[in-house]
Chain A
Amino acid sequence: MSKARSAPLRTALIHLALIAYTLVALFPVFLTLVNSFKSRNAIFREPMALPTPSTFSLVGYETVLNQGDFVGYFQNSLIVTVASIALVLLTGAMAAFALSEYRFRGNTLMGLYLALGIMIPIRLGTVAILQGMVAAGLVNTLTSLILVYTAQGLPLAIFILSEFMRTVSDDLKNAGRIDGLSEYAIFFRLVLPLVRPAMATVAVFTMIPIWNDLWFPLILAPGEDTKTVTLGVQMFIGQFVTNWNAVLSALSLAILPVMVLYVIFSRQLIRGITSGAVK
């Protein structure tokens, strides 16, 4: 078969596969959104159906907004996520710069040590972390969550960013040194803008597990003032009765902020890629 004829077929197959994957990935989101706008009976009778005038109901959203302090929970989730991303990006990029730019004894070893966290889940250390937080008096604070999530996000961030920083031209950094830029200025003004796509990637990969996490909020910060959205939703899930309207509505609302953050970062990501392509 000639290459010219096989190409459209291959393209079609690729798109088919991608579309199928998109549908599979979006299906739970779709189900959540659709059912959050239906009455309880309608959810159980026909979970797949779109809301109709007779089944449409906002009772879930009313429950969420009236019971508990969901605005507060959202705020907590946002503070924790944004602060963790910021810390991961800042400290991760700095560590990655040191590892990729400077020759010092133990450089490789340090890199491996920092990358170890990619393979070992941080939850293995939960007991020790809890003991540490109790000793430091940080239980039931957002700070405890931010610290843990920063530690959780750093290994991958350092790994990805240091690979990217190795590709930044030495000549450019040296030109900066000759023009009298400090190492900080070289890092912030020359290197960081050039690895922005990698930063966006890291931000996305760091953000989602933090936003969705139930484990550490439950253990470290279950108090009413420090509850995150995922933890807040749990109060609608009972041992015997679960308020599905409220659960689905809360989850639908929880998608929104992540979506906004994702759009911000992915635009950066795409801009970085295309600006590299036309250079």
Chain B
Amino acid sequence: MGSLQLKSIRKAFGTHEVLKGIDLDVKDGEFVIFVGPSGCGKSTLLRVIAGLEDATSGSIRIDGQEVAAVPPAKRGIAMVFQSYALYPHLTVKDNMGLGLKQAGTEKAEIDRRVAKASSMLALDPYLARRPAELSGGQRQRVAIGRAIVREPKLFLFDEPLSNLDAALRVQTRLEIAGLHRRLKATMIYVTHDQVEAMTLADKIVVLNAGAIEQIGSPMDLYNKPANIFVAGFIGSPQMNFIPAGKLGDTEAKTIGIRPEHIALSRESGDWKGKVIHVEHLGADTIVYLETEATGLLTVRLFGEHAYKPDDVVFATPDKASQHRFDTGDRAIA
């Protein structure tokens, strides 16, 4: 239980088309992440799946059942919102139990499920508090707890971590990953942060301007991006894009090389250049250089390196790891 099929989902607000034909298959128990820049329609797609917006056209099946006419509460889904969206006038316990209460579940059963979720999320000491008396991280855990209690076929997360600070974000990310392993539920998760996408997903769906650019496992997207958009979006720092003409490649239009696939040397190499700026991150050193052959180039070196601005260096790309794109910005296999 918990599969999802989308067939040519379109959504327009007036004349503004936000989703331009989305096709997707999610298998039971999969962790699928929609990733894409802000405003590309990720939240809209999630709301369409939840039934909070009607699609302009297309079909949605949850567990093989067409849900167009099914209200959100009956779709067997639960949603976690970016802004937590806890009911301000209810205690943590009542926040988590409201959905079940509305569905007419017995009180004993509600108590049992709330207790189970709250112990899973270490919320036991806070059950009697109201949302205003909780920290941001605790509120987000309550929002997740509210979703768990419903025991849904499908979890929907809309950028659940973006209001948390960096440390808490990593911790909550781990909790969500653990939750997925433990509950074995199907999860659909929206984020604009490619790191979150890479670390959590079984399958990533890259969206851009309301259309799917590529679907694949994190390593598929990293190693075999289908086009320039995906190549540039996945991976940090961003892939270097070099006009192919400059490198004497007449077949391709653009050559892409990831910063970690370039070696630097003070003595010799393919492209001679000058260091512009260096970022020392401890585990990594990011060197920005200007070369005669390629223009601006970002290089990621592992460990600490003593390069300084204005140093003359030679960069050598790893030919096996380079990506070639045609005039339509599609990858050349």
Contacts and interface: CB of A to CB of B under 8 A. Distances in A.
Interface of A: 169, 171-172, 174-181, 189-190, 193-194, 275, 278-279
Contact of B132 (A177, A189, A193, A279): A279
Contacts of B79: 174-175, 178
Interface string B173-202: 000000000000000000000000000000
A194 B89 CA distance: 10
Contacts of A169: 83, 85
Nearest first, the 6 A-B pairs at minimum CB distance are: A180-B73, A180-B102, A179-B99, A171-B85, A171-B81, A175-B85
A250 B79 CA distance: 60
B52 interface: yes
B102 A179 contact: yes
A179 B52 CA distance: 12
Nearest to A279: B132
B99 A180 contact: yes
B143 to A, nearest CB: 8
A175 B81 contact: yes
B20 interface: no
Given A179-B99, A179-B102, A174 B85 contact: yes
A193 B89 contact: yes
B158 to A, nearest CB: 8
Contacts of A178: 50, 52, 72-73, 77-79, 99
Q: Which of the listed residues B47, B77, B83, B158 has the most CB atoms from chain A within 10 Å of its own CB?
A: B83
Counting chain B CB atoms within 10 Å of each CB, which of A179, A194, A275, A278 scores highest?
A: A179
B86 to A, nearest CB: 8
B85 A194 contact: no
Given A169-B83, A171-B83, A279-B132, A179 B73 contact: yes
Nearest to B83: A171
Contacts of B71: 177
B98 interface: yes
Interface in B74-109: 74, 77-79, 81-89, 98-99, 102-103
Contacts of A172: 83, 85, 87
Contact of A190 (B74, B83, B87, B158): B87
A108 to B, nearest CB: 12
Interface residues of B, number: 26
Interface of B: 47, 50, 52, 71-74, 77-79, 81-89, 98-99, 102-103, 132, 146, 158
A90 B47 CA distance: 30
A171 B88 CA distance: 13
Contacts of A177: 52, 71-73
Given A179-B73, A179-B98, A174 B81 contact: yes
Nearest to B132: A279
Given A177-B52, A180-B103, A181-B102, A194 B88 contact: yes
Contacts of A275: 132
A241 to B, nearest CB: 58
A278 B86 CA distance: 17
Contacts of B47: 174
A169 B73 CA distance: 19
27 contacts: A171-B82, A171-B83, A172-B83, A172-B85, A172-B87, A174-B47, A174-B50, A174-B79, A174-B81, A175-B79, A175-B81, A176-B87, A177-B52, A177-B72, A178-B50, A178-B72, A178-B77, A178-B79, A178-B99, A179-B73, A179-B98, A179-B102, A179-B146, A180-B103, A181-B98, A181-B102, A278-B132
Contacts of B88: 193-194
A171 B84 CA distance: 8
A190 B85 CA distance: 11
Contacts of A194: 88
A176 B71 CA distance: 12
Contacts of A171: 81-85, 158
A190 to B, nearest CB: 7
Nearest to A181: B102
B164 to A, nearest CB: 16
Nearest to B81: A171
A164 to B, nearest CB: 15
Contacts of B82: 171
Contacts of B85: 169, 171-172, 174-175
Contacts of A181: 98, 102
A275 to B, nearest CB: 8
Given A174-B47, A178-B50, A179-B146, 5 more contacts: A171-B158, A177-B52, A179-B73, A179-B102, A180-B102
A32 to B, nearest CB: 42
Task: Select the residue from B50, B73, B74, B77 with max chain A CB neighbours within 10 A.
Answer: B73
A179 B74 CA distance: 9
